Structures are given as structure tokens and as C-alpha cells.
A and B are shown apart, each in its own frame.
Chain A
Amino acid sequence: MSARITNHIRLLRFMAGEMTQAELGEKIGLTRQTVAAIEAGKYSPTLEAAFRIAQVFGKPLDEVFQWEG
């Protein structure tokens, strides 16, 4: 299976005043390393964490995460 979850977190962080990974992590209760892993597509967050990330940027979930099946 080559399907994977991609995201626009890096772009959204940039557009949110160049928010750092650590700052985003603090807002959603994740470590900086986990935010980096999510951004890099190395870790797929739980649904709850995904919703929290989308909430921080004020975007619907599917504008932050995409399923490339």
C-alpha cells in the first residue's frame, strides 16, 4: 500500500506569523519532535490531534490533511 497522509502544516505555520513547531506543539499538547514528524509525513496523528491542529489554524480538517490513496 502506497497510500499516505500528507499535510500543509508547514505552509499554514508560515502563514500564521511563522509559528514555530514548538509553539504549535505547545498549543496542541505535542512535542516539537512530533510536530516535525507529522510535517515530514513520518507520523500520522490521531484524529483528535489532527482536529486540534486544524483548530489552531482555523481551517477545516481537509484543508490541513489530505489522503493520497
Chain B
Amino acid sequence: MPFREKIAWLSAGGILVAFGPYFALVAMRQPITALGPATATGFLAAIVTLVAVITVASIIVALTNLRDAQQPSDERDRAISRRALAFAYPVLLTALFAALATLFLGAGESVLVNAVLGAIVLGELTRCGVEILGYRARA
């Protein structure tokens, strides 16, 4: 498996591990009313988990694939990355506009913040997913 595909898997896994529990907690706290210390703590915990998981896993993958990790990205890597960004960008924009639309539906600041966060997570997962597909599919 190409080194950069492993990194894409790691990123997707890290996002799911970090933000899956966060959004599960947010969803369980009904009604979602105001931003408070619990939300802030959950958000902080998700960010710390994300950084920790991706950093540690990336170091392990790089050390076990030292030669591949040292190689600069080539034309295929760049083409796959460009395609993933081109696919993820409209997904991110659409999700962000949908998040903003919650304001017009009378949602509060907590819903808006979490919807924006969800949009970013969705965009990043899309980017990782398209990268993984790019390495696996015929191009």
C-alpha cells in the first residue's frame, strides 16, 4: 500500500476516533441549547485526540516504511491529491451553507457551531476517502 494511502487511512481513522465520540455526545445532550464548558471540553478532547492519534500513528508508519516516507510526492500523488481536493471542496461548501441555513431555521449558536464543525469533518473525510479511492482505482 502506498505510503500516502496509509496516511489518508490514518487521517480518516483519526477523525472518526476523535470526532465520532464528540458528535455522539453532542447528539445525546438533548436539547442542544448553549455552548458551555462540557461542549468546550469535548471539543478540546476531540482536537487533542485527533492530533495525538495522527501524530503517533504517522510516526509509526513512517518509521516502519522509512524509504517510502522519505520519497517526495510524485505526479500520481499530486494528481490524486488534486482530485480529492476538487471533490471535497464542493462537499465542504455545501455542508457549510447547510450549516449556516440552520440559523434561518431558528437553531441556536450551539447547533450552528456543531454543524460547521460537522461540515469541516465531512469535507476532510471526503478528501481522505477520495484519496484512498484514487490509490485503489484505475486512473
A interface, CB within 8 angstroms of B: 4, 22, 25, 29-34, 37, 41-46, 49
Known contacts: A42-B138, A42-B139, A43-B139. The answer to whether A30 contacts B68 by CB under 8 A is no
Number of A-B contacts (CB under 8 A): 39
Q: Mark B55-90, 1 if CB is under 8 A from A, else 0.
A: 000000000000110010111110000000000000
- The distance from the CB of A49 to the nearest CB of chain B, in whole angstroms, is 6
Count of chain B residues with a beta carbon within 8 Å of a chain A beta carbon? 13
Binding site for A on B (CB under 8 A): 2-3, 67-68, 71, 73-77, 137-139
* Contact of B75 with A44 in the complex, beta carbons under 8 Å: no
CA distance A45 to B76 in the complex (A): 8
Kindly state the separation between the CA atoms of A46 and B71 in the bound complex, as whole angstroms: 19
State whether A31 and B71 are in contact (beta carbons under 8 Å apart), knowing that A37-B76, A43-B76 are contacts in the complex: yes
How far apart are the CA atoms of A29 and B76 in the complex, in Å? 11
Q: Is the CB of B75 within 8 A of A34?
A: yes
Which residues of chain A come closer than 8 Å to B75, judged between CB atoms? 30, 34, 45-46, 49
